[in-house]
Structure 1
Amino acid sequence: MELPDWMRLQKALSVEAEKGFSDLMGNQYRFSEFLCISFGKTPGVLMPEERRKWQAIATEFVGYSEMTVENRQHLVADTRRFLYQLQQEIQSRSNEESSDPQIKLPRTTPLVAAPSQLPLSLNLDLPLSQVGEIGSYRSKYLERLGLHKVRDILYYYPRNHIDYARQVNISNLVEGDTVTIMGTVKRCTCFTSPRNSKLTIFEVVLKDKTGEIKLSRFFAGTRYSNRGWQEQQKRQYTVGAIVAASGLVKKNKYGITLQDPELEVLDDSGGTIESVKIGRLLPVYPLTEGVSADIVRKAVVAVLPAAKQLKEPLPKALRQQYGLMKVDDAIANIHFPTDNDTLAAARRRLVFDEFFYLQLGFLQRRKAQREVQSSAVIAATGKLIDQFYKLLPFVLTNAQERVVNDILNDLQKTAPMNRLVQGDVGSGKTVVAVIAILAAIQSGYQAALMAPTEVLAEQHYRKLVGWFNLLHLPVELLTGSTKVKKRREIHAQLETGELPLLVGTHALIQDKVNFSRLGFVVIDEQHRFGVEQRALLQQKGQSPHVLTMTATPIPRTLALTLHGDLDVSQIDELPPGRQEIHTTMLTGKERTKAYELINREIAQGRQAYVVLPLIEESEKLDVRSAVEEHERLSESIFPHFKVGLLHGRMNSNEKDEALNAFRDNQTQIIVSTTVIEVGVDVPNATVMMIENAERFGLSQLHQLRGRVGRGSHQSYCLLMSGSKTDTARQRLGVLEQSQDGFFISEMDMRFRGPGEVLGMRQSGLADFALASLVEDQEVLNLARDAAEKVMVQDRNLAGFPLMKAELDYRYSRLMGGTILT
C-alpha cells in the first residue's frame, strides 16, 4: 500500500459521525473493523513520526466498540484531522521534490542491455559457473541458495528494496529515512584508531548549499592499517570532489549522519553513477550463512541482460485488459527498478503470474473432476431426512438451510461433489453434515466421517450415536485405540454393507478398511490432514462425494488460494439464543480476579477450563506448563474443587477418563493444552482461562473460546498475558472486540501471515515468492477472473502453448502438484 484511499477512509469516518458513532455495520465489516484493517497497512511514503501516529490509530480502533460515545467522537474527529493534514503534507512533499532543481539525481548506469547488445553466450539455461562475471568460485556460493542456472538468478526475487533513489538536501535529512545526498568534500581523514590498532576509521565531511554532514566508515583488519591504503583513500576524496552518498539516516552525539554509507566520487555534478547501490532502489535478497549481499547483487547484474530472452506467455490482449507489464521488463525491474512506480508495476505483474497459474491449475482440475462419473447419485429427499428433522429440537438457521441445499443439489449430480463448508464455532456444521450422510444412507450408500484427533472423532461419535439410535441406524467408531476384536467386527460389517456409517481418525484409511458401497465422505478440520491422507479415504469408494468442513473460518482470499478447486459454502450465522462470550485481557497482577470468577461460577454449579501452551515446564520459555499448573491449582488455589488434567502425551484411555470426568462434572476444572481446541462439547463449562495468551494465534484463541458459551448460561473468556508489547495488546484486543471468526481470521492473517493462521506448514499452501495474501487480495481476484476467462476460451490451453508450458513448469517445479486438495 503506497498511498491510502483517502476518499474511502474519510467517507467511512463521515458516515460514522452522521449516524451517531454507532459502529455501523457495512457490507462486510463493522466500521471499527474496517478502520482496523485499513490502518493495519502502513503506507510506505510516511515519515517515521507519521508512521508511529498511523499505527497508534490502528491500535485505538481495536477498542472502539468498548468506548463511550464521547470517546468515539474524539477518536473519529482526531483521525479525520490527521488524515487531512497527512494528505496535504504528502502532496506538499511531492510538489517540493518535483520542483527543486537541487534534488535531481545524477543518471545511473542502465543495468539491462538492449537485445542487440546481449552476449551471444548468455542464455537462460547456462550454468552460473560459465558466466564470465560469476565464474566457478562465486557460483559455489550461489549454489548454497539453490541457484545453479541463469534462469534461477532471474527468478530469485528480492525480499524488499532500500530506497536510495530519493535524493534530498543535507538540511532536510530525517532520522529513519533511506536517502542519497550529493555534496562536495570539505575535508577527509583516514587513520588507525588510537584505542584499537586493528580498526581503521575513515571520515569525510560533505557540504551542499544547505549544510554539511560528517560520514564515517569503519574497517576491521590489519591490512587497512597500512599507511599506503589510508593515503589512497584520502587522495580519492580530495577537497572539492563531488560525492554521492547513500544510506540510512541516523542521529549520534555529533548530529545527523548516514549509517554505513555507500560512497562514490563523480566526475561532475551531472555525472553518471556506476555503483549498483548508490542512487538506486537497492534490492535486498534472502541470504544464507557465508553468502554476502554483494555476491548476489553482482550475479544479478551479470545475468540481467538475459531477461530479454524470456518468452511472453500471456497474450497481449490479456495484458492490456489487466494492465500488466511484459514479463521480461517485470523481471528486470523487480531487481533494479528505475523508480518506485516501476517497481510496483513489475511486482504487480509477477504477483499476478503467481496467482494466475495457481488458479488456472485449480480450474483445470475442477473441470476434470466434474467430468468424472461418481458411482453414487444420491436423492435429496426421503424418509430418514424427514425423521431427522422431526427429531431436532430446533429449526435450522437460514445459513444452514442454504448450505444443506447446496450439498443436496451436488449429491444429485453424476459428477462427484467436492465442497468445503466453513463455519464459525457453534454454527452447526455437524447437523448439516448429518443431513447429507442420511441422504447417502437412504439412497443405499455407506458414509465415512474422518476427524484429525481421537478427541474430535469421539465427540462426533457421541453426537451421532444419540441421533442414529433414534433412527434405528448403526454407527461405529474406529481409532488407533479400538481393540482388535472390535476392529475385526467393524471391518466385516463394512464389507457386507450392514454398517452404513463409520466415524474415525486416520485409522479409516488403513488397507484393511474396505467399504461395500462408499458413496459419501466427510472430512472434518480438513486442513489438518495431508493431501495423500484425504485422497486415500476417497479411494475407498468409486469417486464418492466429498464434504470437507472446517471450524477455522478463513478469509476469501485464503480460501481461493487453498481451495480453488473446491466449491465453498459458508455458515455465516449462529443459531439464535447463543450468548456473546465476555472476553477480557488480564495481566499477571489481575490473576486474583480470574480465580474469583472461577470460584463464583463453580459455586453456581458451572465448570472451567484452564489452557496452557506447554505440557511440561521449559527452561528456555518463561511460560506456565500444564503439569505444574495442575499441581499448583489442585494444591494451593482450588484445593476444595476437583481439578483434572488433559494433554497430548496421555494415552487414549487417560484422555477418555479425563474428558468423561469433566463432562459428568466429577471434575470442576480441567487444566489442558490445546488438545481441547476443537470438538470438546461441555455445555456446563462457562469459563475459559488461557495462560500466556500472547503465544497463541488469534484464530486458535477464538477456537478455544468456542469451548464455552455452548449452554444457556453467560460464559467468560479470560486472556492472561504477560507481554507488554503494543503488538500483543493490539492482537488480544481484537478478541475483546469481536466474536466474528471471519474478521478474527482476517486480522490474524495480517498479524502472522497465512501459513501460521492455518497452524501447519504442510497444509497445501503455496510458497509464494512475491505474492502476499494480505496485501495482494485485489490482484488475486483479478488473476482468478483472468484464469476463468482463459478456461472458458480454451480449457486445454491448446491455443496458448507458452502459457501451458509455464503452467506445467510451475506445477512440477514449485508445487509438485501437492497444492491441489
Structure 2
Amino acid sequence: MAELPDWIRLQKALSVEAETGFNDLQGHHKRFSEFLRDSLRHAPPYSTPMEQDRWRTLSEDFDKYSALTFAQRQHLVANTRRFLQESRQISERPQVAEATKSPVVAKSKRPKTKSLQATGGLRSKHPLEQSITYLKGIGPKNGERLAKLGLLTVRDVLFYYPRDYLDYARQVKIRDLKPGETVTIVGTVRRCNCFNSPRNAKLSIFELSLYDGTGTLKIGRFFAGARFRNRGWQERQKRMYPMGSTVAASGLVKKGKYGITLDDPDLEVLGDAQEEIDSDTVGRVVPVYPLTDGVPASLVRKAVVAALPAAVEIRDPFPTALREHHGLVQLPVAIAHIHFPPDNDALSLARRRLVFDEFFYLQLGLLSRRKQQQAQTQIRMAPTGELIDQFYEVLPFQLTGAQGRVVQEILVDLQETIPMNRLVQGDVGSGKTVVAVVAILAAIQAGYQAALMAPTEVLAEQHYRKLVGWFNLLHLPVELLTGSTKTAKRREIHSQLETGELPVLVGTHALIEDPVQFNRLGLVTIDEQHRFGVAQRAKLQRKGDNPHVLTLTATPIPRTLALTLHGDLDVSQIDELPPGRKPIQTTLLSGRDRNHAYDLIRREIAQGRQIYIVLPLVDESEKLDLRSAIEEHQRLSEVVFPEFKVGLLHGRLSSADKDAAITAFRDRHTQILVSTTVVEVGVDVPNASVMLIEHAERFGLSQLHQLRGRVGRGADQSYCLLMSSSKSDTALQRLRVLEQSQDGFFIAEMDLRFRGPGQVLGTRQSGLPDFALASLVNDQDVLELARGAAEELILQDSTLELWPLIKQELNRRYEKLMGGAIFT
C-alpha cells in the first residue's frame, strides 16, 4: 500500500521553487522537477480512481517541466500547491474523504457562516490553517487564482503584506482638486450614461457627472469586451447611479484634455452627503498588494477583508516583557493595522513590529546555527610552525598591518576547539589571498588538507598560479580542478585527494561534485563567497568532518548586509592597501570626451602600459542601444587603434580561448583587452594602467569599483574612465561617487542606498533572504535592535525551550527565509 506523502517537504519544495524564480532548482540528489515527479507518482491509499489520475497527470507534467515556459511552470506550481493543500486536508479528515469522494469539497457542502470558527468537516482545522476557498466570497475558482500568489490558507492571506497604500481618507471639494493627489469627493449625480464607443466597436464607455456645490466633475470608465456591449449590462450600470443620488468617489486626480478628473476611481452610493462612508476602498487608506497576471487587486483585498476576523486567533510568540522593552505592538494588532490602518501612527507601529519580526527570526536563526556549529569539536591547529615561518621567509614583501591583524584573528580561531567560521572583507588589491595562504599552511602543518573554491575558472586559475609560485618554494604540491580539467588529470587528482598525497586543491564548483573525496579536509576557503548559493557552500563543507571555514570577498558588504547574510560569521576587515599604491584617478566622461580618452590610451601605451576596455554586452542588441564587446573589438582594432594589438575576452569563449586571451594580455602580446565583466575578478596584470568602461551607468557602483581594481596594481599612476551617455541626474550622481572616493566600504554603502540589496549582490544565488516589509536601507535601526534581542535570548537559553512559541515560529520562518537544501 502506498504511504502518505510527506506533505511538508512537498510544499516546501514548491515554495522554494516559486521563490527562486521557477528555475528547476538543483538539490543534493535531484532537481526540483525530478523530486516532484517521483513524489507524485503514487497517490495516497485513500484516493479515488479520479484522484489517482490527477496525481499521475501532475507527475507526468513535472517530467516535462524543463520544456515548459515560465508562465506554464508558474501555473503548474500554483495548481500543485493548491491540490496538495486540499489533498492533505482530506488525509487528515478521512470521514470527509469518505463522504465527498473528492479532494475538493462541493460548494453546496460549505457551511454558510461568516465566521472562521470550526463548524465541522474541513473547517474543523485551526482557523488560520483553513483553505482560503472557505472564505466568504472566494470559493474554489478564486482560490485557484490566489494560489498563483502563494495564498493557500488564511494565514497566508493575513501575512501577505501590502507593498503600498493609497490615501483616499482626505475628502476635498471639487474646486480644490489638484493633479497628482489621491482624494475622495462626495457629490450629487447630475448625469449618468453608458454606451458603445462610436469609434471602437469593442469598447464601451461609462460616464458619470458629479456636482458638490463648488464645481462639476466628469468621470469616465472604459470597458473592452463583447459582454460590455450588451444593453442590459449598460442599463444596469446606469441604474446603480440614479439622477440626484449621492456618490463618494476616491482615486488619483489627473488632468486630461477634457479637464480635471479622477483616474478609474472607486465609487460608493450614499444615502445622503452626511452619511458615513462604509466601504473597503472609498474614503479610506487602501492597501496595494503585489499582484501577478490574472489576479486583480480587488480579489486580494476581498480575501484580506474576509480573513481579518481570524487575526484574533494569532498567538503572539513574544512575551509581554520583550514587547514592552522594545516598544512593540501585539502581533494581531500589527497584522490588522498593516492591512487597514486607522491612521498613519497605527501603520507606523504595525510596520515596525512586523519588520522587527522579520529581522529578529532571521538573526535568531543565524545565531542558533552558529551555536550548533560551535558545539561541534575540532582539532586545534597550531598558530606557528615551520611551514608558516618558511612562507614568511620566501614572501617578497612584508604583510601590511591590517593583513597581520587579520592573520592573527584567523590563527586564534584555528587554536579553538570549535570550527572557525570567519569572513574576511578586503578591498580590491588589499591582499586577501596571502592571508588565506597562511591559514592553508596552518591546516597543512597540522596534518589536514585544504580546499580553495572560486566562482569562475579565471579566478580559480589566478589563485592557482599564485599558490604554485609560493608552494613550489615550500616543496608543497597544489592542483587545479575546474570544468575544463581533462578526464585523466581529474582521476589523478581524485586519487591523490583520497590518499592524502595532495594537501591543497584549488577549483570552481567542480570541488563539490560527488567524486571529489578528501582524506582529511580541515579548512575550506571560499572566495567571492556571495556568488555561491547556500547549498553549494554547505556541500563543500560536508566534504570534511566539521572543517574550519574561511570566506573571502573583495566586494565590501555594508554592516546591514553583513548582519543579514553573515550573522553567524565573525567578520574581519583588511582596510589597508599595500604601500606604494597610488590612488586611481577616476573621471566621468560623456561621448564628446571620447577622443580625449583615446589620446590618454595612446600616451599610456607609448610608455609601455596596457589598457582594459569593458562593455556590458557580448553581442549587439536590437533592444538596447549599447556598444557590444564583439563589435567594439572590431571597430577599435580596425579603425581607432590599428597600430596596436587588440584582444577580446568574454564569457562565451571556450576556456582555452579565455586562457589564450588573458595570457596574451599578461605577456604583453596585446596592448588593449576588450572585455565584458569577465575581468571583474581574477585577472591580475600590474602593467595595466587604464580602465575604460563603456555605458558605465549600466553597472552597479560596487561592480565598477571591482573593475577599477584591475588597474592600479603596480607602482604607475593609473586611470579609470567612466564613459556614460545617460542624461539622468540620478545616474550621473551615482557615478560621481566613484570620482570622489576610493573607499570600497563607502562605495558599497552608497550602492546599497542607490540600488537596494538585491541588485548590489546580484542574483538570488547570493543567499540574500526575501523580506516582505523590511528594508536593509531604511530599517537599519530596527535590524540592530532585533539583532540585540536575538542575542539576549540565545544567551539566556540557546535551545529556546523557555520560549516554545518563538521556537515554533523560528522553525516555520527560518527555512522559508533562507531557502535551504530540502530535496534530500
TM-score (normalizing by structure 2): 0.80
Q: How many angstroms does 1:226 deviate by?
A: 6.8
Q: Check conservation: 1:165, 1:339, Cα contact below 8 A.
A: no
1:602 aligns with 2:612: no
1:731 aligns with 2:734: yes
Question: 1:207 maps to what in 2?
Answer: 212
1:141 aligns with 2:140: no
One-letter amino acid of the counterpart of residue 143, structure 2: S
SS of equivalent to 1:635: helix
Match of 1:363 among 360, 367, 374: 367
Change (3 A) 1:263 1:468: same
Q: How many angstroms does 1:429 deviate by?
A: 0.9
Per mean C-alpha deviation after superposition, the further-off stretch among 748-757 and 339-348 is 748-757
Q: How many angstroms does 1:216 deviate by?
A: 3.4
Change (3 A) 1:172 1:513: same
One-letter amino acid of the counterpart of residue 777, structure 2: V
Q: Check conservation: 1:684, 1:711, Cα contact below 8 A.
A: yes
Superposition map of 1:100-119 within 5 A: none
Q: How many angstroms does 1:193 deviate by?
A: 5.0
One-letter amino acid of the counterpart of residue 642, structure 1: K
1:291 aligns with 2:295: yes
SS of equivalent to 1:688: strand
The RMSD of aligned alpha carbons is: 2.6
1:319 aligns with 2:319: no
Question: 2:814 maps to what in 1?
Answer: 811
Q: How many angstroms does 1:617 deviate by?
A: 2.3
Q: How many angstroms does 1:176 deviate by?
A: 1.3
SS of equivalent to 1:181: strand
Match of 1:159 among 151, 159, 163: 163
One-letter amino acid of the counterpart of residue 587, structure 1: S
Change (3 A) 1:800 1:507: same
Per mean C-alpha deviation after superposition, the further-off stretch among 178-187 and 257-266 is 178-187
One-letter amino acid of the counterpart of residue 263, structure 2: Q
Q: How many angstroms does 1:475 deviate by?
A: 2.5
Q: What is the CA–CA distance in structure 1 between the aligned matches of 2:206 and 2:355, rounded to whole Å? A: 44
SS of equivalent to 1:313: coil
One-letter amino acid of the counterpart of residue 461, structure 1: Y
Q: Check conservation: 1:558, 1:754, Cα contact below 8 A.
A: yes
Q: Check conservation: 1:206, 1:214, Cα contact below 8 A.
A: no
1:670 aligns with 2:662: no
Q: What is the CA–CA distance in structure 2 between the aligned matches of 1:303 and 1:514, rounded to whole Å? A: 53
Q: What is the CA–CA distance in structure 1 between the aligned matches of 2:182 and 2:574, rounded to whole Å? A: 48
Summarize deviations over 1:540-560 as a string: whole Å, max 9, x none. 322111101011111111111
SS of equivalent to 1:324: coil
Q: What is the CA–CA distance in structure 2 between the aligned matches of 1:226 and 1:506, rounded to whole Å? A: 62
Q: How many angstroms does 1:231 deviate by?
A: 6.8
Change (3 A) 1:255 1:620: closer
1:759 aligns with 2:762: yes
Question: 2:16 maps to what in 1?
Answer: none
1:499 aligns with 2:502: yes
Q: Check conservation: 1:355, 1:780, Cα contact below 8 A.
A: yes
One-letter amino acid of the counterpart of residue 544, structure 2: G
Q: What is the CA–CA distance in structure 2 between the aligned matches of 1:494 and 1:453, rounded to whole Å? A: 22
Once the two structures are aligned, what percentage of the paired residues are identical?
70
Q: What is the CA–CA distance in structure 2 between the aligned matches of 1:629 and 1:240, rounded to whole Å? A: 69
Per mean C-alpha deviation after superposition, the further-off stretch among 439-448 and 159-168 is 439-448
Per mean C-alpha deviation after superposition, the further-off stretch among 544-553 and 563-572 is 563-572
SS of equivalent to 1:665: coil
Q: How many angstroms does 1:157 deviate by?
A: 1.6
Q: Check conservation: 1:380, 1:411, Cα contact below 8 A.
A: yes
1:126 aligns with 2:125: no
One-letter amino acid of the counterpart of residue 790, structure 2: A
Structure 1 moving runs of 4+ over 6 Å = 225-232
One-letter amino acid of the counterpart of residue 212, structure 2: K
Q: How many angstroms does 1:233 deviate by?
A: 5.8
SS of equivalent to 1:448: strand
Q: How many angstroms does 1:393 deviate by?
A: 4.1
In structure 2, list runs of 5 or more residues that go unmatched.
1-113
Q: What is the CA–CA distance in structure 1 between the aligned matches of 2:538 and 2:227, rounded to whole Å? A: 63
Q: How many angstroms does 1:817 deviate by?
A: 3.4
Question: 1:310 maps to what in 2?
Answer: 314
Question: 1:340 maps to what in 2?
Answer: 344
Q: How many angstroms does 1:365 deviate by?
A: 0.6
SS of equivalent to 1:422: strand
Superposition map of 1:613-628 within 5 A: 613-628=616-631
Change (3 A) 1:818 1:228: closer
One-letter amino acid of the counterpart of residue 478, structure 1: L
Per mean C-alpha deviation after superposition, the further-off stretch among 715-724 and 507-516 is 507-516
SS of equivalent to 1:569: strand
Q: Check conservation: 1:811, 1:817, Cα contact below 8 A.
A: no
Q: What is the CA–CA distance in structure 2 between the aligned matches of 1:688 and 1:124, rounded to whole Å? A: 58
Change (3 A) 1:495 1:295: closer
Q: How many angstroms does 1:404 deviate by?
A: 1.5
Summarize deviations over 1:164-208 as a string: whole Å, max 9, x none. 122334444332121223345566566655555743341313325
Q: What is the CA–CA distance in structure 1 between the aligned matches of 2:432 and 2:143, rounded to whole Å? A: 55
Q: How many angstroms does 1:633 deviate by?
A: 1.3
Q: Check conservation: 2:449, 2:520, Cα contact below 8 A.
A: yes
Question: 1:802 maps to what in 2?
Answer: 805
1:543 aligns with 2:546: yes
Q: Check conservation: 2:534, 2:820, Cα contact below 8 A.
A: no
Q: What is the CA–CA distance in structure 2 between the aligned matches of 1:507 and 1:233, rounded to whole Å? A: 66
Q: How many angstroms does 1:791 deviate by?
A: 1.0
SS of equivalent to 1:666: coil
In structure 1, list runs of 5 or more residues that go unmatched.
1-115
Change (3 A) 1:230 1:384: closer
Superposition map of 1:87-486 within 5 A: 121=119, 123-185=127-189, 195=199, 198-208=203-213, 212-220=216-224, 237=241, 241-374=245-378, 376-486=379-489
Aligned length: 703
Q: How many angstroms does 1:750 deviate by?
A: 2.6
Q: Check conservation: 2:189, 2:208, Cα contact below 8 A.
A: no
TM-score (normalizing by structure 1): 0.81
Question: 1:698 maps to what in 2?
Answer: 701
One-letter amino acid of the counterpart of residue 127, structure 1: S
Question: 1:108 maps to what in 2?
Answer: none
Per mean C-alpha deviation after superposition, the further-off stretch among 763-772 and 666-675 is 763-772
Q: How many angstroms does 1:129 deviate by?
A: 2.1
Q: How many angstroms does 1:229 deviate by?
A: 6.6
Q: Check conservation: 2:633, 2:674, Cα contact below 8 A.
A: yes
Q: Check conservation: 1:163, 1:178, Cα contact below 8 A.
A: yes
One-letter amino acid of the counterpart of residue 585, structure 1: L
Q: What is the CA–CA distance in structure 1 between the aligned matches of 2:657 and 2:153, rounded to whole Å? A: 56
SS of equivalent to 1:762: helix
Q: Check conservation: 1:581, 1:709, Cα contact below 8 A.
A: yes
Change (3 A) 1:119 1:181: farther
Q: Check conservation: 1:313, 1:802, Cα contact below 8 A.
A: yes
Q: Check conservation: 1:174, 1:249, Cα contact below 8 A.
A: yes
SS of equivalent to 2:764: coil
Q: What is the CA–CA distance in structure 2 between the aligned matches of 1:604 and 1:423, rounded to whole Å? A: 31
Q: Check conservation: 2:535, 2:820, Cα contact below 8 A.
A: no
SS of equivalent to 1:257: strand
Q: Check conservation: 1:583, 1:718, Cα contact below 8 A.
A: yes
Question: 2:100 maps to what in 1?
Answer: none
Q: What is the CA–CA distance in structure 1 between the aligned matches of 2:660 and 2:231, rounded to whole Å? A: 80
Per mean C-alpha deviation after superposition, the further-off stretch among 519-528 and 251-260 is 251-260
Q: Check conservation: 1:189, 1:204, Cα contact below 8 A.
A: no
Q: How many angstroms does 1:413 deviate by?
A: 0.4
Q: Check conservation: 1:154, 1:307, Cα contact below 8 A.
A: yes
Change (3 A) 1:798 1:638: same
Question: 1:38 maps to what in 2?
Answer: none
Change (3 A) 1:739 1:169: farther
Change (3 A) 1:230 1:536: closer
